[in-house]
Chain A
Amino acid sequence: MEILYAVGILSGLGVLAGALLAYASKVFYVKEDPRVEEVDSILPQANCGACGYAGCRDFAKAIVSGEDIVCPVGGPSVAELVAQILGKEAAEVEERVAFVKCAGTHDRAKKRATYHGVKTCAAAHLVGGDKECRYGCLGLGDCAAVCPTDAITISRGVAVIDPEKCIGCELCVQACPVNVIEMVPKSRKMHVVCNSQDPPQVARKVCDVACIACKICTRTDKNFTMEGNVAVFTGSEGGLDTAPFVCPTNAIMDESKYRALEFVLSDAVREAFEQDKAAYKERERAERAKRAAARKAAQQKKAAAQAGGEANPATDKSAAKPSEDGDKKDDSKKSNESNKIDSSPADGDKKAKKEDKAPKAEDTGKEGE
């Protein structure tokens, strides 16, 4: 009998409470958009705050309420899914990664002082940093400290970002006091590893790998343009894979060949690069010699035949065609020609060109001095 009481009371209480709640949920109904939950569930949940909102949930609320925002971490895939839920067109989101525009390691960039004090970039920047170049990476790792994925390595005084680990959250960009970190499309493989706006004559003095505004790259490759005193890669395509070789100070890096980490930091890789570059120059010279020989032969032939009379560059080119990437070399050749007034170290190149019948092997190693 008692057990019946117990069951009765409990069920009574339960039913009462249930009824009350059911009634209350009607009376006190407050609408919340279910899409917030949905959007939240597809966000990366990194809660990094890179979007400017306090976590993914907040972002979800904001985007559902009509804000026009994108999740920089999630990239296009997330944007598309979100757009599906909201029934909107996905905004074009290009996947981007952060890149440090400086290769001025301790041995390459000149020091102007010894820094004492708080070992962060923000602090060192207050007194101008210890590098002679004021545009370079301070190397104290404020960016690495904020990186949520440990994509940043600090070594020998510069930060290098692993594009594979980078999720594009831009926290490092915000943390960097010298603004040496830039967001670049992940697909871009060609980078100028210099941020210096110093005039060429100054830049040259303070760092071995500075962009010295010689403009050779911009002339050989239309993907490069000058922004003030520094060249930048602005093209949409991959760029010519010879671009790094024409730079007299080795300030252009081809990421498809070298990982940034190694290119900036590893002596071995740098050496390998130098060898590639020397080989390229060698090829270039041989090519020129061949071309010149061909031209000479053509001229001689023409002279001999005394037909036509004009030595058309087009014929020259066709003569040079048999070698691989003939067009590109033609570009660089043009640049060399138009470079005569420039006092850049590319001089050596020109001389070599002028005396291209007898190429000098020792030229190669001296670039960028």
Chain B
Amino acid sequence: MKMGERKFIISSSPHIHDGSLTPRIMWGVSLALLPATLVSFYAFGWDAVRVILVSMVSAVVFEAIALMLRNRRPRQAMDGSAALTGLLLGLTLPPGISNAMIMVGTFVAIIVAKQVFGGLGQNPFNPALTGRVFLLIAFPAPMTTWPLPRDLTSQISSLKSFLGLAVERHADVVTGATPLGAVKEHMLKALPHINMGDLFFGLHTPGSIGEISALAILLGGLGLLVARIINWRIPLTIIATVFAVAFLYYLAVPPKVSGMSPVSAAFYMAVFHVFAGGLMIGAFFMATDYVTSPIFPKGQIIFGIGVGLMTIIIRLWGGYPEGVSFAILLMNALVPLIDRYTMPKPFGWVDRRA
């Protein structure tokens, strides 16, 4: 072949890549939520499947519509980010919520909290949490109606509703309070007995479908850590902060737990706060959302401590029994400032004033 005849591709260096890909990360995180999803299926049956499916599908559909409106390829909606948002939102909803409400939630999450700002990577607030908080404030009653898991009537009715047979779906559902709700209600009185095992495995406590089992979330979270998709900083600091503040609080205000010394009761309650409610899923899956968390290591630690503090403040003193969603949203708002002031100095940086 003659010199110069073959035409090659030109591009800027570097010319190799490690093969990582955003959609793969997104689907990886979704995969890490599999244990929690399975537990939710076990605990709430078909209702869980319904909630998660409606949530995921509507999220992807909204994303595709938004992309089409913006003259982008709607196929980008399959990059896993919308599905992950849908999955996360679904997992934080109570099992009895209606399909319409779920779709309102995903609409807020995908359109209002994400696409308005330019879609993937541009949203300042965690979409799933924005959707959830919106639902919580717009529909307080259905969002705080917690059917008991493994309740036969609810199982049957949920299967019927899944198959489209039942009209009056939630007529016979037996509901209960979430452990956090119970604690809040009884704050000044004697605390109800809480079975820590139930809380950890999540099979008998009412709650959002994906949040009930701390173990399942922990498994997924560890998976993410091992796969190096997230790092330890945010989850660990959140959990440690919640634990520490709760422990100190219950030392100062000793709870009446039968047959325990004040210190072990405080310890018990601190552990309770770590495992209860949405803290685990929040710490491992929501707060670590790349887009809405700080980028620099120092910032991630500040962010984690902030989320932990806000969570426990709202839980202990606030009007809501659960504060993880609010805490993360509030700290999301702080992220640009945190990033700004935690930016590391370049290698060999010389202070200009010096």
In the complex they form, do A and B come into direct contact, defined as C-beta atoms under 8 angstroms apart?
yes
Residues in A lying within 8 Å of B, measured CB to CB: 111-118, 123, 126-128, 130
Query: Which residues from chain A contact B7 at a C-beta distance below 8 Å?
Result: 111-114
Q: A113-B8, A115-B9, A130-B10 are in contact. List 6 more A-B contacts (CB 8 A).
A: A113-B9, A114-B7, A114-B9, A116-B10, A126-B12, A127-B10
Query: What are 26 A-to-B residue pairs whose CB atoms are below 8 Å?
Result: A111-B7, A112-B7, A113-B7, A113-B8, A113-B9, A113-B10, A114-B7, A114-B8, A114-B9, A114-B10, A115-B9, A115-B10, A115-B11, A116-B9, A116-B10, A116-B11, A117-B11, A117-B12, A118-B12, A123-B12, A126-B12, A127-B10, A127-B11, A127-B12, A128-B10, A130-B10
A-B contact count (CB 8 A): 26
Query: Which residues from chain B contact A130 at a C-beta distance below 8 Å?
Result: 10
* Bound: A227/B88 CA distance, A: 66
As a 0/1 sequence over residues 1 to 43 of chain B, the CB contacts with chain A under 8 angstroms (1 = contact) are 0000001111110000000000000000000000000000000
* Bound: A111/B8 CA distance, A: 11
B8 to chain A, nearest CB (A): 6
Query: Which residues from chain A contact B11 at a C-beta distance below 8 Å?
Result: 115-117, 127
Chain B residue with the shortest CB-CB distance to A113: B10
B6 to chain A, nearest CB (A): 10
* Bound: A126/B10 CA distance, A: 10
Query: Which residues from chain A contact B8 at a C-beta distance below 8 Å?
Result: 113-114
Query: Which residues from chain B contact A111 at a C-beta distance below 8 Å?
Result: 7
* Bound: A111/B5 CA distance, A: 11
Chain B residue with the shortest CB-CB distance to A117: B11
Chain B residue with the shortest CB-CB distance to A118: B12
* Bound: A114/B8 CA distance, A: 6
* Bound: A116/B9 CA distance, A: 7
Query: Which residues from chain B contact A115 at a C-beta distance below 8 Å?
Result: 9-11
Query: Which residues from chain B contact A128 at a C-beta distance below 8 Å?
Result: 10
Query: Which residues from chain A contact B9 at a C-beta distance below 8 Å?
Result: 113-116
* Bound: A111/B7 CA distance, A: 9
A139 to chain B, nearest CB (A): 15
* Bound: A115/B7 CA distance, A: 11
* Bound: A113/B7 CA distance, A: 5
* Bound: A116/B13 CA distance, A: 11
Query: Which residues from chain A contact B12 at a C-beta distance below 8 Å?
Result: 117-118, 123, 126-127
Chain B residue with the shortest CB-CB distance to A116: B11
Chain A residue with the shortest CB-CB distance to B10: A113
Query: Which residues from chain B contact A127 at a C-beta distance below 8 Å?
Result: 10-12
Chain B residue with the shortest CB-CB distance to A123: B12
Chain A residue with the shortest CB-CB distance to B9: A114
* Bound: A22/B12 CA distance, A: 66
* Bound: A170/B205 CA distance, A: 68
Q: Which 8 A-B pairs have the closest CB atoms?
A: A116-B11, A113-B10, A117-B11, A114-B9, A127-B10, A117-B12, A116-B9, A115-B10
* Bound: A65/B82 CA distance, A: 56
B71 to chain A, nearest CB (A): 15
Query: Which residues from chain B contact A116 at a C-beta distance below 8 Å?
Result: 9-11
A325 to chain B, nearest CB (A): 46
A317 to chain B, nearest CB (A): 51
* Bound: A112/B11 CA distance, A: 13
A119 to chain B, nearest CB (A): 12
B282 to chain A, nearest CB (A): 37
A50 to chain B, nearest CB (A): 28
* Bound: A111/B4 CA distance, A: 12
Query: Which residues from chain B contact A126 at a C-beta distance below 8 Å?
Result: 12
Query: Which residues from chain B contact A117 at a C-beta distance below 8 Å?
Result: 11-12
* Bound: A173/B235 CA distance, A: 51
* Bound: A114/B7 CA distance, A: 7
Chain B residue with the shortest CB-CB distance to A112: B7
Chain A residue with the shortest CB-CB distance to B4: A112
A136 to chain B, nearest CB (A): 16
* Bound: A123/B10 CA distance, A: 12
* Bound: A128/B11 CA distance, A: 10
A279 to chain B, nearest CB (A): 39
* Bound: A115/B11 CA distance, A: 6
* Bound: A127/B10 CA distance, A: 7
Chain B residue with the shortest CB-CB distance to A128: B10
Query: Which residues from chain A contact B10 at a C-beta distance below 8 Å?
Result: 113-116, 127-128, 130
* Bound: A116/B10 CA distance, A: 6
A177 to chain B, nearest CB (A): 14
Chain A residue with the shortest CB-CB distance to B8: A113
Chain B residue with the shortest CB-CB distance to A115: B10
A122 to chain B, nearest CB (A): 11
* Bound: A119/B211 CA distance, A: 44
* Bound: A115/B12 CA distance, A: 9
Which of B7, B8, B10, B12: most chain A CB closer than 10 A? B10
Query: Which residues from chain B contact A123 at a C-beta distance below 8 Å?
Result: 12
* Bound: A117/B10 CA distance, A: 8
